[in-house]
Chains A and B, each alone.
Chain A
Amino acid sequence: MNYSLLVLASPLSGGTANRSACRFAEAVISRGHALRRVFFYDRGAETALATAVTPPDSEDLRSAWLSLAEENATELVSCVASGLRQGVLDDGEAARHARPRTQLKGFTTGGLGLLVDAIAGSDRVVTFGESMDP
């Protein structure tokens, strides 16, 4: 089957949903399914933030996402509008706003059209968000 993921949870939040998404992505692939695209939206866009440093005693989820994408031709897309609010700038946005580039290499930037395209072109789309309950 053809899967895409929608990731709303940040790897920096202290929660576990971003990690669950990454583990799920690995499981999808190891079962022989195709993982076309992961769309990082809302706080999930922080997954592409190059300037955040993972402490040595914690798992570096960014490198897990990157190696998964590299080995399986999965597209990692960070939402451009969410990214701007959280300081994730690709080369184009960095130039436009006169700031340094902060997007991790290996991620691409895109709008919600790429999420719509993933929904239309996948058998399954699975959302990973953090509970927003108080």
Chain B
Amino acid sequence: MKDKAFIMDLRKDNKVDFNELVRLHQTGVFNVALRMLGNRQDAEDATQETFLRALRFLHRYDPQRPASPWLKKIAAHICLNRLERRQPLLLDCDDERTLPSSDPLPETHVQEHDKNQAVRAALLRLPPRYRVMIELRHFQELSYSEIAAELDRPLSDVKSDLFRARQMLAQYLKDVI
């Protein structure tokens, strides 16, 4: 496994392999941050923080597993922390820019690009605790129990938050899906 070799080399302070690890996984990590934070600059900042934190806590990584899920989970935590620090504002100016208006989307044919923008904007309208549920379940494909362990929350909370998040998304996207 390529990741395993990288991580083992990294534990020996091999900077070159860290570059390679970043190169391989930066897009995945960046997209976690983009979905959760909503703008590219914040997402790139969070991506940097993710890799630096990963380097710092390399000893916690299990080399038997692929690096991508581990990095994405770190990214989700970092983004959730950032979002919770932003509270109670919930949305910053950049988020406002990407949000759809509260009016229904045009009835005409929705271009694929617009649809994707609408989905991203709908995600940003979710409260952080729901947003991270959608991220971990739908984009990182964790099970209920894995999400509960990751967020240190009861399984019942995971089920109810995920259900509520989907209800809200369905409402926001009713003209798109």
Partners in one complex: no
